[in-house]
Amino acid sequence: MSKMSKTAKDGFIPVKSADRVLDIFEELLKQPNGLSTNELGQRLQIAGSSLHALIQTMLHRKYVKINEERKVVLGNKFYEFVGVYANDPLIVQSKPIMKALSKRVNENIHLAILEGTDIVFIACEQTTHPIRYFVEPGQTQKAHLTAVGKMLLSQYSDKRIQEMYANYPFEKITDNTIDSMDKLLEKLEFSRTRGYSLDDGEAYSGSKCYAGPIYDQSHRMIASLSISIPFLRVENDRDEEMISLVKEACRQLSSRLADG
């Protein structure tokens, strides 16, 4: 079923061309290395002639460009908007803390916010290790698959979660993926009780993540920060150290935000 038909069921009828442009942006955000026009057309179910017209307009306005591999990637104009967002106090205040944490553990550090039942990565610090999971600001993921997502969802009551995930199609991505409401509620209770969250190969079978909560001045959870480590570098006897480090980084960032 297309995004259009799903949206129409909610009673909202979008402008078709605008909806398709936004679909293109969202698909390219998931694929930093770009997609061919054929790949875009297949993924978004847009006819070749219509897609060509949309891409030509976006090229002309510099919102996308064609790379050396003849793939469509996000363009300079798009990143101008990202640059404005990068001045958000949360991102500005997070940078030195994320850099310090990344230097300490030499692993990927991610900052994310919640958008419905998805999370959006808004800042990242990359490890120097050649083997890593590459995440760009703006990429999205299903919240229940991630440590940051479960941390953010844990601020809500079970009743609210049941409303948010009513008729949700839990899909088994890995052997450890949460695939039912009961399992989700169990994981969220763990996060509420412990003050941190884990992703033990739930989104990707080869990685482990540790996440903590970020609070604003009114002590409202607004974001989550995580350490992400490929299994080949995971040392289980360092779990407590990783949890302590991520919680301390979150405490520092929350303190900075509280001080304005």
Cα–Cα distances in Å, from 10 out to 3, 143, 162, 184? 11, 21, 19, 25
- pLDDT single digits (tens) 78-116: 877 776 666 788 999 999 999 999 999 989 999 999 989
What does the domain layout of the chain look like in residue ranges?
3-82, 86-258
CATH 1.20.120.430 given to domain 3-82 = no
Q: Across all residues in the chain, what is the average pLDDT? A: 88
Which stretches of the chain are assigned E, i.e. beta strand? 64-66, 72-74, 108-115, 118-125, 140-142, 197-200, 207-215, 221-230
Q: Under a CB-based contact definition with an 8 Å cutoff, are residues 180 and 187 in contact?
A: no
Q: Which CATH superfamily is domain 86-258 in?
A: GAF domain (3.30.450.40)
- pLDDT single digits (tens) 17-49: 999 999 999 999 888 789 999 999 999 999 999
Residues 122-128 have a mean pLDDT of 86
- pLDDT single digits (tens) 201-231: 888 878 899 999 999 998 999 999 999 988 6
Confidence band of 3 (pLDDT split at 50, 70, 90): very low
- pLDDT single digits (tens) 72-82: 998 888 877 77
